[in-house]
Structure 1
Amino acid sequence: MSPGSGAAGVGAETAPHFVLVPMMAAGHAGPMLDMARALACRGALVTFVTTPLNLPRLGRGPGDDALPIRFLPLRFPCAEAGLPEGCESLDALPGAGLLGRFNDACAMLRAPLVARLRDDAAAPPASCLVADACHPWAGAAARELGVLRLAFDGFCAFSSLCMRQMNVHRIFDGVDDDRRPVRVPGFPIDVEISRARSPGNFSGPGMKEFGEEIMAESARADGLVVNSFAELEPRFVDAYEAAIGKKVWTVGPLFLNTMPAAAATAEGAAAARCASWLESRKPRSVVFVSFGSLVRSSVAQLAEIALGLEASGRPFIWAVKPGKLAEFERWLSGDGFESRVGETMGLVIRGWAPQRAILSHPAAGAFVTHCGWNSVLECVAAGLPMATWPHFAEQFMNERLVVDVLRVGVPVGVKDAAPWGVEAAAVDVVATREDVASAVAAVMDGGEESAARRTRAAELGRKAREAVATGGSSDRNVALLMEHAGRKKTTA
């Protein structure tokens, strides 16, 4: 165990002991670590399960050592699962073909986790195990330990319910056209989705069965924890609860518990460069462009994005993660893009950028996003509108929520999902420079529609902050979750 200095003695005899098991990927582990902080701030003891290589990547803050959070790094069985050594996280996999083996390796953590928790004399017995829904094996671990088991859902209620209904009703059976929209039955609003835009990108041997295992185990869970807030999607939270017959605890935006948007900061050269650049911009004038940690676009597509941003005439920060960095750098120098736009107009960041700090800065005006749920939630909390460019997984569903339900987004116009874990072909272009420039203009320029969209986005940002404030809906749900786990511990 790797405890913080405050890990022992904070009401240890009476407070519930939560064991948190995130999916081994940055976009999954981060929100669950924020949940650990939210619980620990209320006095719960939290054991956070990770692996040796993932532990230093967690982004632990200076205040974490004062909280009753213990980090439990379990050896990740790469060799036993047939994985290359070091593949301890989803984003470290060389390709999607190894996803099945990665899931097998995760499942092998069950026995050592149960053993470590049973043999741990330094902490009270676990009272609740909260595991990512992508860890169906965690249900058996909780039953072995005789503790409450909650599934952590990394998606919003809208997309989770949509995916459930798609699977339950097998909506694509007999459909031979991948682009043909099919209505999703039993959904609160009229939604159609094609196979090409559905979360069917994780194909391969055993993946269909794995998806069914996730659904079956989630149905056995005692409830679901969702990184969303009630005011964002009330109709869909209620419908999701009714469909699964379980309590859905909305506890987000989790990152606001420990990093309020107004005070967001970050360290490092990229962060300092962005902060300095933003300080010289007018309020709400800058477009931020980022597609998360897993997207790898072709150089041809990156060129279209660059030229579209240039044509928009708007100042921008672009966090780019090219699949072939050397080739992209050759294009930049050959085309003269950076010399033309200069840092007066645009800032190109290779790799990581301090997304929360950028979005929360007064100069930020809009976000061109891949619609990953963490990114959507961070933009919502910042009170900004979006230009939506989904790539894979549930991102096209998130786009529907953002554009059609919340009405704070403008679609770039992408038609099909990109297969996750597969390098884009050298000539693949799914959105042109005209598409990019048009979407930026729609989301940033004046006019009644744009002004109304911006007003709605600002209102959602206010509601997000209120949800996690004392007495807010998410704050109350965290308190109720603590009480629920405490009662289960008392009666166990």
Structure 2
Amino acid sequence: MEKAQSMPHVLVVPFPAQGHALPLLDLAALLAARGIRLTVVTTPANAPLLSPLLAAHPASVQPLVLPFPAHPSLPAGLENAKNCPPSYFAIFIHALAALRHPILAWARSNHPVAAVLSDFFCGWTQPLAAELGVPRLVFSPSGVLGTAVPHSLFRRSVKRPPDADDGYCVAFPSIPGELSYQWREISGTYRSYIEGRMDAQVGEAVRQNFLWNLESSGFVSNTLRALEGRYLDSPLEDLGFKRVWAVGPLAPETDTSGELGGGLAAWLDGFSEGAVVYVCFGSQAVLTPAVAAALAEALERSAVPFLWAVGGGGSLVLPEGFEARAAAARRGMVVRGWAPQVAILRHAAVGWFMTHCGWNSALEAVAAGVPMLAWPMAADQFVNARLLVDETRVAVRASAGGIGVVPDGGELAAVLADAVGEGGTGARALAKELAAEAAGATKEGGSSREDLELLVEWIHKL
């Protein structure tokens, strides 16, 4: 206990959504193993997420469990953004900021901290850190590019001209590469804010959240130099010219061989190396019946073997007879509900991953050496898709993307067939090369390991 009290004490504030909280908790485990004492803020419904971390580091990590702040526009009991409809998301960010006062009271009651490490949706921890007289580090579960783009939008208050449609291109002159994205590809939260479709108080709180991040002492990003080196070479104006520690991929290496289950493992074992296309759009994107029908048509017409994890509680309605025909042909399987994605991607039979390009899914594919069929839906996914398709070239475009946008089944079938065939040779090779670099990044002497050690050194100097 005496040794723990002598360690630097960091207050960790995750954003309560699995895709944000889990990588930050993985980072917390790495910091705890390197002599840093941590207090992690959570709410009762999210507290179980901390169990593995607390069990692994009982002497150096403690939870600070606080009630989730009530908000008149949020349903009672909603504590995790995973269960949050898009219309509630900005309100959720706004509501969470009310934790500032109980955290401040806790810190002042004989719990001094040396720094605050918090998610980029917790910008309200910047004035909290200032009141405590300590630096704040911003944790980004996204890549550097995916973090810079929304900060650029809020920093510049970019607007679409009144006479322009959703194809209007927004330029990002301060980010390397002469980037531009169509208005429809811009974050829905930002578009709702700038177009006045969001409650004014909530909208201003969300905007201020991003501007506070630019006042921080730096960013810690779940990325690696082999993937985003051009955005790490010099400080970015859209990240406040602040230092970025690139410490990813953060997910620890584990043996996933036992996670597939007998039936799924046996089914995959029946295919040759790289033959199967794994299809999954994450836990939050729910395909409309029309989009699902177009995808089902493409899978049948392309004749590629596929494993489709429909997610969304398994409630997706597929075309009548589709599953039976796929099963009868021994060419396709539909998994309803949760699927062991990391284990699936690491199975030798899986050669392609059709994905919404969520950052965690993208990193899992990168680590597994599996090329991607990019079908972005929302949030940072269009930014990630561009990085994967146009820059690293470990992905090909499956669809222009967007929630509810129905692709042509025949065109999508052609993309699938070409990727699995000779047309995908280049992406497959590059994916294998990037996987080797990702594995090396977190090993001794790797770029991400070096950034992690520099981060630890920076904290110890506090």
TM-based fold match above 0.5: yes
Q: For 1:249-268, what aligned pairs fall within 5 Å after superposition? A: 249-255=245-251, 258-260=252-254, 263-264=255-256, 267=259
Q: Is 1:209 equivalent to 2:197 in the alignment? A: no
Structure with more relative contact order (C-alpha pairs < 8 Å, separation 6 or more): 1
Counterpart of 1:106 in structure 2 is 96
SS of aligned partner of 1:368: strand
CA-to-aligned-CA distance 1:171-214 (integer Å, 9 cap, x gap):
44426222122432233112221111111345222354234212
Q: For 1:418-429, what aligned pairs fall within 5 Å after superposition? A: 418=403, 428-429=404-405
Q: Is 1:379 equivalent to 2:369 in the alignment? A: no
Counterpart of 1:340 in structure 2 is 325
**CA distance 1:300–1:59, change in 2 (3 Å):** farther
Q: State whether residues 288 and 364 of structure 1, in contact with CA within 8 Å, keep that contact through their aligned partners in structure 2.
A: yes
CA-to-aligned-CA distance 1:364-386 (integer Å, 9 cap, x gap):
21110101111111111111111
Q: Is 1:465 equivalent to 2:439 in the alignment? A: yes
Identify the range of structure 1 (341-350 vs 221-230) with the bigger mean alpha-carbon deviation.
341-350
Q: Distance in 1 between matches of 2:348 and 2:370?
A: 10
Q: State whether residues 181 and 194 of structure 1, in contact with CA within 8 Å, keep that contact through their aligned partners in structure 2.
A: yes
Q: Is 1:363 equivalent to 2:349 in the alignment? A: yes
Q: Distance in 1 between matches of 2:170 and 2:90?
A: 28
Counterpart among 218, 232, 237 of residue 227 in structure 2 = 232
Counterpart among 71, 82, 92 of residue 83 in structure 2 = 92
Q: Distance in 2 between matches of 1:137 and 1:322?
A: 31
Cα displacement (A) at 1:12: 1.5
Q: For 1:49-128, what aligned pairs fall within 5 Å after superposition? A: 49-57=41-49, 60=52, 64=56, 68-78=60-70, 80-93=71-84, 95-119=85-109, 125-128=112-115
Counterpart of 2:143 in structure 1 is 156
Counterpart of 1:279 in structure 2 is 269
Q: Distance in 2 between matches of 1:57 and 1:443?
A: 38
Q: State whether residues 16 and 482 of structure 1, in contact with CA within 8 Å, keep that contact through their aligned partners in structure 2.
A: no
Q: State whether residues 308 and 333 of structure 2, in contact with CA within 8 Å, keep that contact through their aligned partners in structure 1.
A: yes
Q: Is 1:12 equivalent to 2:23 in the alignment? A: no
Counterpart of 1:197 in structure 2 is 185
Aligned alpha-carbon RMSD (Å): 2.5
Counterpart among 366, 377, 390 of residue 391 in structure 1 = 377
Cα displacement (A) at 1:240: 4.5
**CA distance 1:129–1:276, change in 2 (3 Å):** farther
Q: State whether residues 166 and 185 of structure 1, in contact with CA within 8 Å, keep that contact through their aligned partners in structure 2.
A: no
CA-to-aligned-CA distance 1:246-269 (integer Å, 9 cap, x gap):
1101110000xx225xx33565xx
Cα displacement (A) at 1:322: 5.0
Counterpart of 2:130 in structure 1 is 143
Cα displacement (A) at 1:242: 5.5
CA-to-aligned-CA distance 1:358-411 (integer Å, 9 cap, x gap):
112222211101011111111111111110000111211111111111111111
Counterpart of 2:195 in structure 1 is none
Q: State whether residues 174 and 236 of structure 2, in contact with CA within 8 Å, keep that contact through their aligned partners in structure 1.
A: no
CA-to-aligned-CA distance 1:259-303 (integer Å, 9 cap, x gap):
25xx33565xx7554334333332222211111121111122212
Q: Distance in 2 between matches of 1:58 and 1:31?
A: 12
**CA distance 1:181–1:341, change in 2 (3 Å):** same
Q: State whether residues 312 and 437 of structure 1, in contact with CA within 8 Å, keep that contact through their aligned partners in structure 2.
A: yes
* TM-score w.r.t. length of structure 2: 0.90
CA-to-aligned-CA distance 1:443-477 (integer Å, 9 cap, x gap):
22124xx2221111111111111111122111111
Q: State whether residues 321 and 350 of structure 1, in contact with CA within 8 Å, keep that contact through their aligned partners in structure 2.
A: yes
**CA distance 1:146–1:167, change in 2 (3 Å):** closer
Q: Distance in 2 between matches of 1:101 and 1:200?
A: 14
Counterpart of 1:481 in structure 2 is 455
CA-to-aligned-CA distance 1:406-425 (integer Å, 9 cap, x gap):
1111112325x33xxxxxxx
Cα displacement (A) at 1:323: 8.1
Partner letter of residue 461 of structure 1? A
Counterpart of 2:14 in structure 1 is 22
Q: State whether residues 309 and 338 of structure 2, in contact with CA within 8 Å, keep that contact through their aligned partners in structure 1.
A: yes
Cα displacement (A) at 1:136: 1.4
Identity level (%): 36
Q: Distance in 2 between matches of 1:156 and 1:16?
A: 27
Counterpart among 155, 170, 173 of residue 185 in structure 1 = 173
Counterpart among 300, 307, 316 of residue 317 in structure 1 = 307
Cα displacement (A) at 1:319: 1.1
Q: Distance in 1 between matches of 2:234 and 2:414?
A: 35
Identify the range of structure 1 (45-54 vs 245-254) with the bigger mean alpha-carbon deviation.
45-54
Cα displacement (A) at 1:81: 4.3
**CA distance 1:165–1:107, change in 2 (3 Å):** closer
Q: State whether residues 224 and 447 of structure 2, in contact with CA within 8 Å, keep that contact through their aligned partners in structure 1.
A: yes
**CA distance 1:312–1:221, change in 2 (3 Å):** same
CA-to-aligned-CA distance 1:107-134 (integer Å, 9 cap, x gap):
111122222344466xxx3222111111
Q: State whether residues 296 and 323 of structure 1, in contact with CA within 8 Å, keep that contact through their aligned partners in structure 2.
A: no
Q: Distance in 1 between matches of 2:439 and 2:133?
A: 36
Cα displacement (A) at 1:92: 1.8
Counterpart among 287, 293, 303 of residue 303 in structure 1 = 293
Q: Distance in 2 between matches of 1:106 and 1:233?
A: 31
**CA distance 1:350–1:476, change in 2 (3 Å):** same
Q: Distance in 1 between matches of 2:421 and 2:59?
A: 45
SS of aligned partner of 2:35: coil
Q: Distance in 1 between matches of 2:182 and 2:108?
A: 47
